[in-house]
Amino acid sequence: MKSLTVLRRELRPQGAVLPGCPTCPLFARCGGVQRQPQLFANTCFDRHCCGQPDGCQMVCRGNRRWERDLRDHGNLLFNDLPPLNQQGVELPSHVPLIDHRIADLGVLDLPVVALKTSQVFRLKGRRFAPVAEDAAGLRAFFRLAPGTRIVLRGTDKDPALKRYWQHRLRDRVPEQMARLGIDLVIGPNFSHPLDVVRTETLANRWRQLKCLEEMQAAGLSPVPHLSAVQPPDWVFWRSYLSERPGVRFVAVEFQTGNRDPRQGFRVIDQIAGIQDAIRRPLHLIAIGGGQYAARLSACLGGFSVLDSLAFMRAVKRRGFCNEAGRARWRLRWTEGLQPIDGLLHDNLRDYSAWIEEQARVGRCDRRISLN
């Protein structure tokens, strides 16, 4: 069996669409798939359709529910999407993610933090409800100062995303979010795997955009996650952002496939290209993108790294060390059940300072290249 690394490399864009893509009836919506060609694989359906129409759970033309699934996902067309507008918010270069609640933690007096939707909303019996009823209660629950601004991170693993999708309308989840005093909500990143039929990817994009529409209707300020695995995906996002001048913040996750520097650099270059094409600055929220801080600063200018490193390392009794410009985490001994408050504050301060240092390096490199 091939390793995941080799498989990803084969499924990444190869420079030319598969031979059968231009004649596929869905080509105009999809844009084609660029993958390493294989014998008897002229389209994504030849390679990835399971051939089991009764048990298939994907949005696929080989599925017996194909016509219904197509209607349920807007016929996989994206030409009637509503406008999207975001409120004016200033974010620092590092937005710490408080991964979960710690009951005995002292109050964190921070200007802005991020929380996960899956930690703020939980199933209570059959109801999907927040852990608090209002803005003050949410901050008290996570041991935050009353004035702390909050970014809600909707990106997550598939089970949490499916839970949100399943309950969002019945339990009026966007309306409940709007009562919690949240500045920005990063929309869900429904999976865009490389080894599925393209129609499943387009359906997941439609779900993402539908969630943003529902959040905005509830009075929230949603942030699109730029999920992209093929060149036509970036073409779509360029068109989408060009037609929506009210969007300044966008998000991309750098914790899985984009963790590889070769792929991560390509993604940053794509976003820089979009920024140039639409002729206005974007502010990228780079989820788990601390390793790219200098590159983000050099290519984009406006960015914020959103991650839980400072928090989770403190939980594991590890402190931040800046070793010749490289981030390192060293074990810090504590006595028994000694609280982590001091270590957490040190990590947040020092790691944020390191991110800003990397940003300055990137800005310097950018000025040199422009001159």
pLDDT tens digits, one per residue of 268-286: 999 999 999 999 999 999 9
Give the separation between CA 120 and CA 117, rounded to whole angstroms: 5
pLDDT of residue 106: 87
The SS3 of residue 151 is strand
Q: Which helix (H) or strand (E) holds 116?
A: strand 112-116
**Which parts of the chain fold into alpha helices (H)?**
4-11, 27-30, 44-48, 66-72, 117-120, 135-141, 158-167, 173-177, 198-217, 231-242, 261-278, 293-299, 309-315, 341-370
- Indicate whether 241 pLDDT > 90: yes
pLDDT tens digits, one per residue of 289-336: 999 999 999 999 799 999 999 999 999 999 999 988 888 999 987 766
pLDDT of residue 39: 42
The stretch 361-365 carries a mean pLDDT of: 79
How much is the CA Rg of the chain, to the nearest whole Å? 22
pLDDT of residue 1: 44
Nearest CA-CA partner of 153 in 69, 251, 232: 251
pLDDT tens digits, one per residue of 129-176: 999 999 999 999 999 999 999 999 999 999 999 999 999 999 999 999
Tell me which of 257 and 115 has the higher pLDDT. Answer: 115
